Every structure is written in structure tokens, then in C-alpha cells.
Amino acid sequence: MTRRTPLLLVLALLAALAPWLGSTAASAADEPAPDVELVGVVRDTSGAPVPGATVSLYSREVDSWWGLVEDPVTTGPDGSFEFPEQRVRAYRFSVAADGFLAEFHPDADNVESGDDVLGVPGRTEVAITLEPAAQSLGGRTTSLGEPAAGVRVEVELQRPDQGWRHYAYVLTGVDGTYRLGVAEGTYRLRFLRAGLVPEWYADVPTVYEAARVVVAAGATVVVDAELAPSRSVIQGRVLVNGKPFVPASDDQLLVVIAEREHVSGDFHYTGTDGEGNYSLPYLPADRYRLSAFVNTEGSGVTREWFDDAATQQEAIWIELDGTSSFVADFDLEGSPPPPASEPLSGRTTDLRGAPAPGVIVTVEERAVGETSWTSLPGIATANDGGWTAATQQGHRYRVSFRHPGFRTQWYRNARRAADATIVAPGATGVDARLRPSPWWQQALPWTCRLVPVAAGCGS
């Protein structure tokens, strides 16, 4: 694939940042923060569009793994695709298509080696070029003998140095068929679609039993799948002390998880809505053991198994025949939440004092007396440059600020985490006046990976 020249990178980045670096930035605070719209075109090496390619979008929270943001999409006749209404953060893309080598943009065979695409308010454009492939994987998915359209086929590649790694997603067409170009190697495949029992090739429920598929040089390998329909559902309501659960933070969830008896390691889970309702649809015929709990430590809510069981061994098994439904309600015991702490707050501006929206604010916390820091999910500043973050009593915090086109810095202009000013809960005025990155860092973002401290990318 041909990479863009440094000059084009600089121009694209300056165009994306123009609303904040120019004189219009001050008036932007009066308007709602715009959505991030990720759009792009997939082409071959001759510049012709590639229709029907499967494009997948990945992101991750702080210190987490890369995962799908939403269901993959298919490119149109002109090779175009879009992911509207996204958040301000870093993304990565993968593309799979018949006749072309699947890749993580640009030219990588795993998500960790792909390049970030920074989504900023407004329209972010991505150009992806695919190389031709000499090998291919493909087949047909059916259910009850009929074509199964819209099945998401997950492909994993065995790497000698890193074990099994996610390689690509591809969607089946209206006739149930799929095909993608691949490199030589050993693969395993999983098939997923709502209403059908997920399975690994060949006809097994877990990854540990999955068959290996070897693709030799120049080979075309066919992998078909017959997927069983699934109609059973477990649903109900989960309360805490007789009332709907109120999360203490955006990342806190009340989770219901169902464990299959006869398939080790096969779990089905979901969160509850604001009223405590949940639903676990499309469950295969089997017996299930159900539990409900809060996904973060220190919530004060006690985990419980159905029906009013305090331990896994005491839980009853729920039997489903593939068409049946079952209602399972919970009322968990919860201790009163600790007294609320005042949040941290601040504001980001550029050197002219104009608000800087869309800056990623990373807050790290540690308990008093401890030495290790834990990163909280990143926060994007509002259109007026303001931000807030929830805190806990007995903890201390340090804060960094990151945005394309600006130097990464910590509170009070520290260049490294080790020099950051530590603040207590309730601190206000945790502000940052951002300085533009050097031109060479904007043009060559890979320099942050090579010499991060010298490039001003943090410690």
C-alpha cells in the first residue's frame, strides 16, 4: 500500500484542527458539540473502488483491549463506507474483501499493529488501499438448509510468535456466501448472527474445539457452516434493595450472566436497563446457571445466584429446550454507597485562550498510601473546553491532556507523568493551555513511538 506523504498528513491534520486554532474557536462554545463522522473509501492499487468489502471499526478504553465499536458495514458500489455518530477518540479499521488481502489499516495483519485514526468533531476521512491476494477463504452459511444472510464470520490467524490473533471479520451476503483474501497460514473461524446458535468451525461451541484450517500458497479453501436456530430466552428484572440500581459512574453496570452446564466456558451475559430489566435471547437448548452482580469493586452490592443463592454451588439450574422462555428476577442486597466526593474539573484552551473541545483528558487515580496508578476511561472536553471527572474519597489524582496537533502534557504543564502535580478530590481549575506539537511530530506521528519523551509525547 502507498502511504501518504508527510505534507499531505500535515495539511489534513491542520484542516481538521482549523475550527479550534482559528478565530472561530471562541464562538464555538455556544454551539452543541458536533458528532464525529468517520467516512472513507476502499480502493485497489489501481485506484478503482472495491464494492462489497467488509469494514470493521475498533476502539478501546484506557488500558483495555481493542474491540468492535459496532457491527461491521459493507462498502457501496463506489467503495464508500461510513460510521456516523461516533465519539472523539482513536480508532482502527480492518477491511476484508474477495480477491484482496485482508488488512488492518494500513498493511497490518492484527489490530495492535494498525495505525490510529483520530476522530475529531465533524467529518474524519479515511482512504484505504487493498493489495491483491493469491489465497482466499470462503464458503456458504445456511440454517435449516436455507441461506443465512448477515452472518458475521470472525477469522483468527495463528502467528508463530504471538499465538492466535484476531485477523478479520467478513459478512455473508443475501445468498449466505462469503469470501475474503488471506495470507498463507493456519486459521480458525467463528460464525455469529442473532437468532442462530454461534459456533466455531466445524460445528463446535467453543474455541478450544475449533478445527484448524490451513491455507497454502495460491489455495482457495471452502469452509461452510450450517447454523442451528435458537429461540429460547431468559429475561427478568434485577433490583437492589427493592429499587432499580443507580450506577456510580458511566463504566459501572449491573450484569446478568448465564453459564451453560454442558459446554464449559460458554457464557451469555447482558446489562440491565434503567429500570433493571434484562433479556438474554437466542440461547441454545441446555441447562443454565444464572447470577447477577455489579461489574466494579467496592459497589457494596452482593452477588447473587438464582434463586436467592449465595454461592454458585447452591444455584438452581434453568432448563431450556431451544424454544422455551424463563423469567428470573433478582433483588440483590446493597450497602449504602460511600459519601460522594466532589468531582475534579477544569478547562482546556489553545495558546490564544480559545476553548479547545475534543481534548482527551486522562485521569489516573490511586488510594492514599499506594504507589501504583490506575487510568480511568478517557473524557473528551466539551465545546467550551470544560471537563469534569468523578472522584472517590481517600484517593489522589493526576491528569493529562492529549489532542492531535498539540503536545501531550500533564496538569501545570508537566511534560512527563513523573512530574505531574497530584490533586485531591474536589480540585477545580485543573486547566491546560495546550501548545501545538512541533511540525515534524505532526508530519511523522511514528516519531512518538520511537522517541516519545524527546518528541513531547509524554513519558
One domain for residues 317 and 357: no
Q: Could you report the per-residue pLDDT of 146-203, keeping only the tens digit for each? A: 999 999 999 999 988 878 999 999 999 999 999 999 999 999 999 999 888 889 999 9
One domain for residues 261 and 279: yes
Q: For cell 467478513, what's the residue?
A: 170
Number of independent structural domains in the chain:
4
Q: Percentages helix, strand, coil for the chain, rounded to the nearest 5? A: 10, 45, 45
One domain for residues 43 and 27: no
One domain for residues 356 and 322: no
One domain for residues 326 and 393: no
Residue percentage of the chain with pLDDT more than 90:
58
Which one is predicted more confidently, 14 or 340?
340
What Å distances lie between residue 66 and 28, 58, 94, 120, 402, CA to CA? 32, 6, 12, 19, 19
Angle at 416 between CA 412 and CA 421, to 5 degrees: 35
C-alpha cell at 242: 427493592
pLDDT beyond 70 at 50: yes
One domain for residues 57 and 125: yes
Of 163, 191, 226, the position where a domain reaches its end is 226
Single out the residue of 414, 401, 359, 341 nearest to residue 422, CA to CA.
414
Q: Could you report the per-residue pLDDT of 273-317, keeping only the tens digit for each? A: 889 999 998 888 899 999 999 988 778 899 999 999 999 999 999
Q: Name the CA radius of gyration of the chain, rounded.
A: 25
pLDDT at 440: 61
pLDDT at 18: 41
* CATH number of domain containing 442: 2.60.40.1120
pLDDT at 426: 92
pLDDT at 30: 39
pLDDT at 443: 45
**Inter-residue contact 230 to 322 (CB < 8 Å):** yes
Give the containing element (helix H, strand E) for 443.
Answer: helix 439-443
User: Residue 20 burial (CB < 10 Å; 0-12/13-18/19+)?
Assistant: buried
One domain for residues 447 and 343: yes
Q: Is the dihedral of CA 433, 437, 442, 447 positive or negative?
A: negative
**Band of the pLDDT at 445, cuts 50, 70, 90?**
very low
The span from the CA of 20 to the CA of 350, in Å, is 8
- Section 36-53 average pLDDT: 95
Which one is predicted more confidently, 455 or 87?
87
Torsions phi, psi for 401 (to 5 deg) = -130, 130
pTM for the predicted model, two decimal places = 0.56
271 has which bridge partners? 255
One domain for residues 285 and 317: yes
